Structure 1
Amino acid sequence: MPRRTERGSIRIDPRLIIGVVLIVGSTAGVYTLVSGLDDATEVYTATETFTPGALIREADLIVERVRFGSTEVRYLEPDALPDGGLLVTSTIRSGELVPLASVDDVDRAGLATVVVPSRGALPEGVDRGTVVDVWSARQLGRGESEPPTVLVPEAEVAAIIDSGGMVDGDQRSVELLVPRDRVAALLQALAAEDAIDLVPARPEAER
Protein backbone atom coordinates (compact mmCIF):
# COMPACT_ATOMS: atom_id res chain seq x y z
CA MET A 1 0.00 0.00 0.00
CA PRO A 2 1.15 3.62 -0.46
CA ARG A 3 3.59 4.76 2.20
CA ARG A 4 4.19 8.32 3.40
CA THR A 5 7.82 9.48 3.54
CA GLU A 6 9.27 11.80 6.16
CA ARG A 7 8.53 14.86 4.00
CA GLY A 8 4.86 13.88 3.64
CA SER A 9 4.98 12.77 -0.03
CA ILE A 10 3.31 9.51 -1.10
CA ARG A 11 5.45 6.67 -2.39
CA ILE A 12 3.59 4.20 -4.66
CA ASP A 13 4.26 0.53 -4.13
CA PRO A 14 5.62 -1.01 -7.43
CA ARG A 15 3.43 -4.06 -6.84
CA LEU A 16 0.36 -1.85 -7.23
CA ILE A 17 1.56 -0.66 -10.65
CA ILE A 18 2.23 -4.24 -11.76
CA GLY A 19 -1.26 -5.27 -10.66
CA VAL A 20 -2.88 -2.46 -12.64
CA VAL A 21 -0.89 -3.40 -15.76
CA LEU A 22 -1.96 -7.05 -15.45
CA ILE A 23 -5.61 -6.09 -15.11
CA VAL A 24 -5.48 -3.79 -18.14
CA GLY A 25 -3.69 -6.46 -20.19
CA SER A 26 -6.22 -9.10 -19.23
CA THR A 27 -9.13 -6.83 -20.15
CA ALA A 28 -7.58 -6.04 -23.53
CA GLY A 29 -7.05 -9.74 -24.22
CA VAL A 30 -10.68 -10.58 -23.48
CA TYR A 31 -11.84 -7.71 -25.70
CA THR A 32 -9.66 -8.92 -28.56
CA LEU A 33 -11.00 -12.46 -28.22
CA VAL A 34 -14.62 -11.33 -28.21
CA SER A 35 -14.01 -9.03 -31.17
CA GLY A 36 -12.46 -11.93 -33.06
CA LEU A 37 -15.52 -14.07 -32.44
CA ASP A 38 -17.77 -11.26 -33.66
CA ASP A 39 -15.81 -11.15 -36.93
CA ALA A 40 -16.51 -14.84 -37.64
CA THR A 41 -19.06 -15.71 -40.32
CA GLU A 42 -21.52 -18.60 -40.16
CA VAL A 43 -21.20 -20.87 -43.20
CA TYR A 44 -22.41 -24.36 -44.07
CA THR A 45 -20.30 -27.55 -44.06
CA ALA A 46 -21.37 -30.73 -45.86
CA THR A 47 -22.14 -33.72 -43.63
CA GLU A 48 -21.54 -36.14 -46.52
CA THR A 49 -20.21 -36.14 -50.07
CA PHE A 50 -22.60 -34.69 -52.67
CA THR A 51 -22.22 -35.23 -56.41
CA PRO A 52 -23.60 -33.09 -59.26
CA GLY A 53 -27.36 -33.37 -59.58
CA ALA A 54 -27.93 -34.01 -55.86
CA LEU A 55 -30.25 -31.81 -53.84
CA ILE A 56 -29.01 -30.48 -50.50
CA ARG A 57 -31.20 -29.14 -47.72
CA GLU A 58 -30.60 -27.73 -44.26
CA ALA A 59 -30.68 -31.22 -42.70
CA ASP A 60 -27.68 -32.20 -44.87
CA LEU A 61 -25.51 -29.39 -43.54
CA ILE A 62 -24.02 -28.10 -40.31
CA VAL A 63 -23.14 -24.52 -39.43
CA GLU A 64 -19.57 -23.51 -38.60
CA ARG A 65 -18.13 -20.13 -37.66
CA VAL A 66 -15.15 -19.18 -39.80
CA ARG A 67 -13.05 -16.02 -39.84
CA PHE A 68 -12.38 -14.84 -43.38
CA GLY A 69 -10.87 -11.49 -42.47
CA SER A 70 -11.08 -9.06 -45.36
CA THR A 71 -11.53 -11.90 -47.86
CA GLU A 72 -14.88 -12.06 -49.66
CA VAL A 73 -17.05 -14.90 -48.35
CA ARG A 74 -17.58 -17.36 -51.20
CA TYR A 75 -19.30 -20.08 -49.22
CA LEU A 76 -22.96 -20.82 -48.53
CA GLU A 77 -24.35 -18.90 -45.55
CA PRO A 78 -27.50 -19.96 -43.66
CA ASP A 79 -29.59 -17.03 -44.88
CA ALA A 80 -28.77 -17.92 -48.51
CA LEU A 81 -30.25 -21.44 -48.36
CA PRO A 82 -33.86 -21.51 -49.66
CA ASP A 83 -36.48 -23.75 -48.07
CA GLY A 84 -36.48 -26.07 -51.08
CA GLY A 85 -32.73 -26.59 -50.95
CA LEU A 86 -30.13 -26.17 -53.67
CA LEU A 87 -28.91 -28.26 -56.58
CA VAL A 88 -25.29 -29.45 -56.48
CA THR A 89 -23.43 -28.62 -59.71
CA SER A 90 -19.95 -29.86 -58.76
CA THR A 91 -18.79 -32.39 -56.17
CA ILE A 92 -18.78 -31.27 -52.53
CA ARG A 93 -16.91 -33.64 -50.22
CA SER A 94 -17.88 -34.51 -46.66
CA GLY A 95 -16.50 -32.01 -44.17
CA GLU A 96 -15.86 -29.31 -46.76
CA LEU A 97 -17.32 -25.83 -46.66
CA VAL A 98 -20.01 -25.49 -49.31
CA PRO A 99 -18.73 -23.19 -52.11
CA LEU A 100 -21.30 -20.91 -53.71
CA ALA A 101 -19.85 -21.97 -57.06
CA SER A 102 -20.89 -25.60 -56.40
CA VAL A 103 -24.63 -25.04 -55.90
CA ASP A 104 -27.47 -23.57 -57.93
CA ASP A 105 -31.20 -22.91 -57.70
CA VAL A 106 -33.47 -25.89 -57.10
CA ASP A 107 -35.56 -25.07 -60.16
CA ARG A 108 -32.79 -26.79 -62.10
CA ALA A 109 -33.67 -30.15 -60.54
CA GLY A 110 -34.94 -31.29 -63.93
CA LEU A 111 -31.39 -31.14 -65.23
CA ALA A 112 -28.61 -33.71 -65.32
CA THR A 113 -24.87 -33.20 -65.72
CA VAL A 114 -23.07 -34.59 -68.76
CA VAL A 115 -19.35 -34.18 -69.44
CA VAL A 116 -18.59 -33.36 -73.07
CA PRO A 117 -14.97 -33.39 -74.31
CA SER A 118 -14.08 -30.47 -76.54
CA ARG A 119 -12.60 -31.15 -79.98
CA GLY A 120 -10.29 -28.16 -79.69
CA ALA A 121 -10.11 -24.74 -78.11
CA LEU A 122 -13.39 -23.59 -76.60
CA PRO A 123 -15.12 -20.59 -78.18
CA GLU A 124 -14.19 -17.28 -76.61
CA GLY A 125 -16.39 -16.36 -73.68
CA VAL A 126 -17.41 -19.92 -72.80
CA ASP A 127 -17.04 -20.25 -69.04
CA ARG A 128 -19.00 -21.44 -66.03
CA GLY A 129 -22.55 -20.12 -66.29
CA THR A 130 -22.41 -19.62 -70.06
CA VAL A 131 -25.43 -20.87 -71.99
CA VAL A 132 -24.46 -22.86 -75.09
CA ASP A 133 -26.14 -24.79 -77.88
CA VAL A 134 -24.77 -28.31 -78.35
CA TRP A 135 -24.37 -28.99 -82.07
CA SER A 136 -23.88 -32.52 -83.37
CA ALA A 137 -23.00 -33.97 -86.77
CA ARG A 138 -23.67 -37.69 -87.10
CA GLN A 139 -20.75 -39.66 -88.50
CA LEU A 140 -21.55 -41.69 -91.64
CA GLY A 141 -18.14 -43.28 -92.08
CA ARG A 142 -15.28 -42.74 -94.52
CA GLY A 143 -14.84 -39.21 -93.22
CA GLU A 144 -18.37 -38.19 -94.10
CA SER A 145 -21.01 -36.83 -91.76
CA GLU A 146 -24.52 -35.47 -91.81
CA PRO A 147 -25.13 -31.71 -91.66
CA PRO A 148 -24.85 -30.48 -88.06
CA THR A 149 -27.99 -29.86 -86.05
CA VAL A 150 -28.68 -28.52 -82.56
CA LEU A 151 -28.81 -31.57 -80.33
CA VAL A 152 -29.30 -29.73 -77.03
CA PRO A 153 -30.37 -26.08 -77.06
CA GLU A 154 -29.44 -23.73 -74.22
CA ALA A 155 -27.38 -26.05 -72.04
CA GLU A 156 -25.59 -24.32 -69.17
CA VAL A 157 -21.88 -24.78 -68.49
CA ALA A 158 -21.51 -26.05 -64.92
CA ALA A 159 -17.72 -26.43 -64.99
CA ILE A 160 -14.72 -26.61 -67.30
CA ILE A 161 -12.32 -29.47 -66.63
CA ASP A 162 -8.68 -29.24 -67.67
CA SER A 163 -7.40 -32.09 -69.80
CA GLY A 164 -4.56 -32.90 -67.40
CA GLY A 165 -1.94 -34.99 -69.15
CA MET A 166 -3.33 -34.60 -72.67
CA VAL A 167 -0.87 -33.43 -75.29
CA ASP A 168 -3.05 -30.68 -76.69
CA GLY A 169 -3.53 -28.11 -73.95
CA ASP A 170 -6.51 -26.64 -75.84
CA GLN A 171 -8.54 -29.81 -75.33
CA ARG A 172 -10.71 -29.65 -72.23
CA SER A 173 -13.92 -31.24 -71.07
CA VAL A 174 -17.04 -29.25 -70.31
CA GLU A 175 -19.58 -30.26 -67.68
CA LEU A 176 -23.03 -29.29 -68.93
CA LEU A 177 -26.41 -29.03 -67.23
CA VAL A 178 -28.70 -30.78 -69.70
CA PRO A 179 -32.49 -31.33 -69.57
CA ARG A 180 -33.08 -34.96 -68.63
CA ASP A 181 -35.14 -35.61 -71.76
CA ARG A 182 -32.07 -34.75 -73.89
CA VAL A 183 -29.51 -36.77 -71.93
CA ALA A 184 -30.04 -40.04 -73.82
CA ALA A 185 -29.57 -38.38 -77.22
CA LEU A 186 -26.40 -36.62 -76.08
CA LEU A 187 -24.92 -39.78 -74.56
CA GLN A 188 -25.74 -41.69 -77.74
CA ALA A 189 -23.94 -39.07 -79.84
CA LEU A 190 -20.92 -39.25 -77.54
CA ALA A 191 -20.83 -43.05 -77.71
CA ALA A 192 -21.02 -42.94 -81.51
CA GLU A 193 -18.14 -40.42 -81.56
CA ASP A 194 -20.23 -37.95 -83.51
CA ALA A 195 -18.73 -34.51 -84.02
CA ILE A 196 -19.95 -32.32 -81.15
CA ASP A 197 -19.33 -28.59 -80.80
CA LEU A 198 -20.46 -26.02 -78.26
CA VAL A 199 -21.66 -22.67 -79.56
CA PRO A 200 -22.62 -19.77 -77.25
CA ALA A 201 -26.39 -19.38 -77.45
CA ARG A 202 -27.70 -16.10 -78.79
CA PRO A 203 -29.77 -13.92 -76.44
CA GLU A 204 -33.52 -13.99 -77.06
CA ALA A 205 -33.42 -10.43 -78.40
CA GLU A 206 -31.09 -11.48 -81.22
CA ARG A 207 -33.17 -14.43 -82.40
Structure 2
Amino acid sequence: MEKRSPQEGARLKRPSWKDPRLLIGVLLVLLSVSGVIAVVGSADKTTEVYAAKDGIAVGQVITPADLAVVKVRLDDVEPAYLTVADGLTTDKVALQRIEKNQLVPQKSLGQADALNRKPVAVPVEGELPPQVVQGAKVDVWVAMPDAARGYKEPALLLPGAEIAQVTPGSSTLGSAKATVVLVLVTDQQMPGLLGAQANAAKISVVWNPSGRGQ
Protein backbone atom coordinates (compact mmCIF):
# COMPACT_ATOMS: atom_id res chain seq x y z
CA MET A 1 0.00 0.00 0.00
CA GLU A 2 1.31 3.35 -1.09
CA LYS A 3 2.09 5.72 1.72
CA ARG A 4 1.26 9.43 1.44
CA SER A 5 3.76 11.98 2.43
CA PRO A 6 3.00 14.36 5.30
CA GLN A 7 2.66 17.20 2.75
CA GLU A 8 -0.02 15.33 0.77
CA GLY A 9 -1.92 14.58 3.96
CA ALA A 10 -1.93 18.23 4.88
CA ARG A 11 -3.36 19.15 1.45
CA LEU A 12 -6.23 16.67 1.78
CA LYS A 13 -7.12 17.70 5.29
CA ARG A 14 -10.70 19.07 5.67
CA PRO A 15 -10.64 22.86 6.15
CA SER A 16 -11.40 24.06 9.63
CA TRP A 17 -13.82 26.88 10.56
CA LYS A 18 -10.83 28.46 12.19
CA ASP A 19 -9.09 28.68 8.83
CA PRO A 20 -8.76 32.47 8.14
CA ARG A 21 -9.15 31.90 4.41
CA LEU A 22 -12.55 30.29 4.92
CA LEU A 23 -13.66 33.06 7.26
CA ILE A 24 -12.60 35.72 4.76
CA GLY A 25 -14.54 33.94 1.99
CA VAL A 26 -17.72 33.77 4.09
CA LEU A 27 -17.36 37.45 4.99
CA LEU A 28 -17.03 38.44 1.33
CA VAL A 29 -20.17 36.50 0.44
CA LEU A 30 -22.13 38.17 3.24
CA LEU A 31 -20.93 41.60 2.18
CA SER A 32 -21.93 40.90 -1.41
CA VAL A 33 -25.43 39.76 -0.41
CA SER A 34 -25.87 42.79 1.85
CA GLY A 35 -24.83 45.10 -0.98
CA VAL A 36 -27.37 43.59 -3.36
CA ILE A 37 -30.14 43.88 -0.76
CA ALA A 38 -29.23 47.51 -0.13
CA VAL A 39 -29.27 48.35 -3.85
CA VAL A 40 -32.62 46.64 -4.41
CA GLY A 41 -34.11 48.32 -1.35
CA SER A 42 -32.89 51.73 -2.46
CA ALA A 43 -34.25 51.29 -5.99
CA ASP A 44 -37.68 50.42 -4.60
CA LYS A 45 -37.87 53.52 -2.38
CA THR A 46 -40.73 55.27 -4.14
CA THR A 47 -43.32 57.74 -2.86
CA GLU A 48 -46.97 58.11 -3.80
CA VAL A 49 -47.54 61.65 -5.04
CA TYR A 50 -50.29 63.53 -6.84
CA ALA A 51 -50.15 64.49 -10.52
CA ALA A 52 -52.64 66.55 -12.53
CA LYS A 53 -54.96 64.47 -14.72
CA ASP A 54 -55.53 67.50 -16.94
CA GLY A 55 -54.28 71.08 -16.98
CA ILE A 56 -55.30 72.96 -13.82
CA ALA A 57 -55.89 76.70 -14.23
CA VAL A 58 -54.93 79.45 -11.80
CA GLY A 59 -57.71 79.94 -9.26
CA GLN A 60 -59.26 76.53 -9.87
CA VAL A 61 -60.42 74.70 -6.75
CA ILE A 62 -58.53 71.41 -6.67
CA THR A 63 -60.44 68.22 -5.84
CA PRO A 64 -59.34 64.56 -5.76
CA ALA A 65 -61.07 64.10 -9.12
CA ASP A 66 -58.49 66.44 -10.69
CA LEU A 67 -55.55 64.34 -9.50
CA ALA A 68 -53.98 60.96 -10.15
CA VAL A 69 -51.72 59.01 -7.80
CA VAL A 70 -48.32 58.01 -9.16
CA LYS A 71 -45.31 56.33 -7.59
CA VAL A 72 -42.01 58.11 -8.15
CA ARG A 73 -38.61 58.32 -6.52
CA LEU A 74 -38.07 61.88 -5.29
CA ASP A 75 -35.29 61.53 -2.69
CA ASP A 76 -34.29 64.96 -1.35
CA VAL A 77 -36.89 66.93 -3.36
CA GLU A 78 -39.87 65.05 -1.88
CA PRO A 79 -40.91 67.96 0.42
CA ALA A 80 -41.44 70.15 -2.66
CA TYR A 81 -44.35 68.04 -3.93
CA LEU A 82 -47.81 67.07 -2.68
CA THR A 83 -47.72 63.46 -1.51
CA VAL A 84 -50.61 61.16 -0.71
CA ALA A 85 -49.37 61.11 2.88
CA ASP A 86 -49.75 64.92 3.00
CA GLY A 87 -53.38 64.66 1.95
CA LEU A 88 -55.47 67.24 0.09
CA THR A 89 -57.74 69.66 1.90
CA THR A 90 -60.93 70.86 0.25
CA ASP A 91 -60.13 74.58 0.35
CA LYS A 92 -57.04 74.60 -1.85
CA VAL A 93 -56.86 76.47 -5.14
CA ALA A 94 -54.13 76.58 -7.77
CA LEU A 95 -51.88 79.62 -7.35
CA GLN A 96 -50.10 78.79 -10.61
CA ARG A 97 -50.95 76.69 -13.62
CA ILE A 98 -50.28 72.95 -13.31
CA GLU A 99 -49.82 71.15 -16.61
CA LYS A 100 -51.34 67.78 -17.46
CA ASN A 101 -49.39 64.86 -15.90
CA GLN A 102 -47.19 67.29 -13.93
CA LEU A 103 -46.47 66.46 -10.29
CA VAL A 104 -48.24 68.95 -8.02
CA PRO A 105 -45.76 71.33 -6.35
CA GLN A 106 -46.57 72.35 -2.80
CA LYS A 107 -46.05 76.01 -3.69
CA SER A 108 -48.72 75.81 -6.40
CA LEU A 109 -51.47 75.35 -3.79
CA GLY A 110 -52.94 77.88 -1.41
CA GLN A 111 -55.98 79.80 -0.26
CA ALA A 112 -58.06 81.84 -2.67
CA ASP A 113 -57.08 85.08 -0.94
CA ALA A 114 -53.43 84.36 -1.79
CA LEU A 115 -54.08 84.78 -5.50
CA ASN A 116 -52.26 87.84 -6.84
CA ARG A 117 -53.76 87.61 -10.34
CA LYS A 118 -57.39 87.61 -11.45
CA PRO A 119 -58.87 86.60 -14.81
CA VAL A 120 -60.26 89.40 -17.00
CA ALA A 121 -62.21 88.70 -20.19
CA VAL A 122 -60.66 90.32 -23.26
CA PRO A 123 -62.70 90.05 -26.49
CA VAL A 124 -60.39 89.74 -29.49
CA GLU A 125 -61.48 90.20 -33.10
CA GLY A 126 -59.90 88.08 -35.78
CA GLU A 127 -58.14 84.74 -35.69
CA LEU A 128 -55.57 84.03 -33.00
CA PRO A 129 -52.40 81.98 -33.59
CA PRO A 130 -52.64 78.33 -32.50
CA GLN A 131 -50.10 78.95 -29.73
CA VAL A 132 -52.56 81.19 -27.87
CA VAL A 133 -54.02 78.54 -25.58
CA GLN A 134 -54.61 78.05 -21.88
CA GLY A 135 -51.34 78.53 -20.00
CA ALA A 136 -49.59 80.41 -22.81
CA LYS A 137 -48.03 83.86 -22.30
CA VAL A 138 -49.18 86.81 -24.40
CA ASP A 139 -48.55 90.53 -24.75
CA VAL A 140 -51.69 92.67 -24.59
CA TRP A 141 -51.53 95.81 -26.75
CA VAL A 142 -54.02 98.67 -26.47
CA ALA A 143 -54.88 101.39 -28.97
CA MET A 144 -56.98 104.14 -27.37
CA PRO A 145 -59.64 105.94 -29.43
CA ASP A 146 -58.61 109.16 -31.17
CA ALA A 147 -61.17 111.58 -32.59
CA ALA A 148 -58.88 112.65 -35.43
CA ARG A 149 -57.33 109.36 -36.52
CA GLY A 150 -59.71 106.76 -35.13
CA TYR A 151 -57.15 105.19 -32.79
CA LYS A 152 -53.89 106.24 -31.27
CA GLU A 153 -50.70 104.28 -31.80
CA PRO A 154 -50.88 100.90 -29.98
CA ALA A 155 -49.02 100.65 -26.67
CA LEU A 156 -47.94 97.56 -24.76
CA LEU A 157 -50.14 97.33 -21.67
CA LEU A 158 -49.57 93.79 -20.33
CA PRO A 159 -46.26 92.10 -21.23
CA GLY A 160 -46.08 88.34 -20.72
CA ALA A 161 -49.59 87.92 -19.28
CA GLU A 162 -50.78 84.34 -18.74
CA ILE A 163 -53.93 83.02 -20.38
CA ALA A 164 -56.39 81.29 -18.07
CA GLN A 165 -58.87 80.25 -20.74
CA VAL A 166 -59.72 80.77 -24.41
CA THR A 167 -63.32 80.63 -25.66
CA PRO A 168 -63.39 80.58 -29.47
CA GLY A 169 -65.91 82.80 -31.22
CA SER A 170 -68.62 81.41 -33.48
CA SER A 171 -70.35 82.62 -36.61
CA THR A 172 -74.10 83.19 -36.72
CA LEU A 173 -75.90 84.41 -39.87
CA GLY A 174 -72.70 85.80 -41.31
CA SER A 175 -71.63 87.69 -38.18
CA ALA A 176 -68.63 86.40 -36.29
CA LYS A 177 -68.44 86.62 -32.52
CA ALA A 178 -65.17 87.71 -30.95
CA THR A 179 -62.91 85.17 -29.28
CA VAL A 180 -62.85 85.73 -25.53
CA VAL A 181 -59.45 85.39 -23.87
CA LEU A 182 -59.30 85.28 -20.07
CA VAL A 183 -56.06 87.01 -19.12
CA LEU A 184 -54.61 86.88 -15.60
CA VAL A 185 -54.07 90.42 -14.35
CA THR A 186 -52.56 91.76 -11.13
CA ASP A 187 -54.36 94.38 -9.04
CA GLN A 188 -51.76 96.95 -10.10
CA GLN A 189 -52.43 96.26 -13.79
CA MET A 190 -56.21 96.09 -13.43
CA PRO A 191 -57.02 99.86 -13.75
CA GLY A 192 -55.15 100.16 -17.03
CA LEU A 193 -56.94 97.22 -18.67
CA LEU A 194 -60.40 98.04 -17.32
CA GLY A 195 -59.94 101.69 -18.28
CA ALA A 196 -59.03 100.70 -21.83
CA GLN A 197 -62.11 98.51 -22.09
CA ALA A 198 -64.35 101.22 -20.64
CA ASN A 199 -63.06 103.69 -23.27
CA ALA A 200 -63.70 101.28 -26.16
CA ALA A 201 -60.01 100.81 -26.93
CA LYS A 202 -58.90 98.37 -29.59
CA ILE A 203 -57.21 95.48 -27.75
CA SER A 204 -54.88 92.99 -29.43
CA VAL A 205 -53.33 89.83 -28.03
CA VAL A 206 -49.91 88.76 -29.33
CA TRP A 207 -48.29 85.45 -28.45
CA ASN A 208 -45.13 85.94 -26.39
CA PRO A 209 -42.90 82.87 -26.96
CA SER A 210 -40.31 84.00 -24.39
CA GLY A 211 -42.94 84.35 -21.65
CA ARG A 212 -41.07 87.28 -20.12
CA GLY A 213 -42.77 90.35 -18.82
CA GLN A 214 -45.19 89.72 -15.98
The structure with more radius of gyration: 2
Normalised by the length of structure 2, the TM-score is 0.48
Normalised by the length of structure 1, the TM-score is 0.50
